[in-house]
Structure 1
């Protein structure tokens, strides 16, 4: 079993710490993350990823049929759009650091960077959405995963 020492998870955001128990400074790890998506912790039934969305960028319209998701803004401003169809994202709200959106499985959604600096996010999926150790340096890298 890995250490429960939170200092282990405060440095590089390049390692997937799952599925052993760990305490971590998620805000600091998200701020240090320079990848579009980094799997930070992957368990059997839950996963946390960290994301960096560039200015004028977005995560892309997506839907996870069987996966609930929580997305929290760690730094920056986000515009969240959700709906029952990919072309009908009628729910819209802006989020600032410390705020989160809860997305049930089967709901189409997109998160756009609405600020003037990179948007830093943490995202929890239940069950996990990406393979253990996933690192997508760019949005295009993530598109090849086939989710």
Structure 2
């Protein structure tokens, strides 16, 4: 399925099909002024990567595979965990350290809704390493027209 981020314009697509067919670590599917939709594919044994977003809430939904979600107030205090699989959602409050690891035997396919937008519109990261490099270099920033916290 061909997805093109046309944000902040109206958009519609088959989200479940797009998520299941996505082969990239992360693909930004739509960027709005106040939220953003990304598709992710996590290989067997890998994870989204332990991270925290001080001003961004996240909604994560698995459409294929299974994993283990962890969260906590500190990087070394992940005191919440939940096994998740196809159809499960995970809500990540802003400021909460979190990770989801693929514990299954197939790629874990999920989509993430960020509020506010967190990535550059239309950005495609084939691998987690490319995503991390873009974040470190500042090449993966939300556009100026999005609403961002002070």
**Structures share fold, TM-score greater than 0.5:** yes
- Whole-angstrom CA distance in 2 between matches of 1:145 and 1:126: 20
Moved beyond 3 Å, runs of 4+: none
Q: Secondary structure at the match of 1:146?
A: helix
Give 5+ residue unaligned stretches, structure 1.
1-10
- Whole-angstrom CA distance in 1 between matches of 2:129 and 2:112: 19
Deviations 1:78-121 (A, max 9, x none): 21000001111110001111110111100000010011000001
Equivalent in 105, 112, 115 of residue 123 of structure 1: 112
With the length of structure 1 as denominator, give the TM-score of the two structures: 0.89
**Residue 12 of structure 1 contacts residue 32 of structure 1 at CA under 8 Å; is this kept in 2?**
no
- Whole-angstrom CA distance in 2 between matches of 1:119 and 1:113: 6
Q: Secondary structure at the match of 1:19?
A: coil
Deviation at 1:17, TM superposition (A): 3.3
Question: Per the alignment, do residues 21 and 127 of structure 1 end up closer, same or farther by CA in structure 2, a change over 3 Å counting?
Answer: same
Residue 69 of structure 2 corresponds to residue 73 of structure 1: no
Residue 5 of structure 2 corresponds to residue 12 of structure 1: no
Question: 1:88 is matched with which residue?
Answer: 77
Question: 1:7 is matched with which residue?
Answer: none
Equivalent in 124, 132, 135 of residue 135 of structure 1: 124
- Whole-angstrom CA distance in 1 between matches of 2:110 and 2:30: 14
Write the mapping of 1:36-75 to structure 2, written as runs, cut at 5 A.
36-75=25-64
With the length of structure 2 as denominator, give the TM-score of the two structures: 0.87
Equivalenced residues, count: 136
